[in-house]
Amino acid sequence: MRSIFKAFGLFAGVLAALTAIAGPSEAQQKPLRVVATVSMLADAVRAVGGARVEVTSLLGEGGAPPF
């Protein structure tokens, strides 16, 4: 469970850095494409990013990770 939180923290940091780098005109043109491993992370990114992100989850809702 800790590894999921670590991965989410790293992912959120990268997303924040990319958002800070992108200028306002670039951010308005097209959403940032984000790929999340599990639906729980995808939901969190959608909640934070809103209309500015286009999120794809590798493992669908209710899917079990292979570990």
CB atoms within 10 A of CB 41: 21
Burial class of 27 by CB neighbour count within 10 A (0 to 12, 13 to 18, 19+):
middle
pLDDT digits (tens, 9 = 90+) for 1-58: 667 777 777 777 777 776 666 556 554 678 889 998 888 888 888 998 888 899 998 8
Structural tokens at position 2: 């800790």
Q: Does pTM top 0.75 for this prediction?
A: no
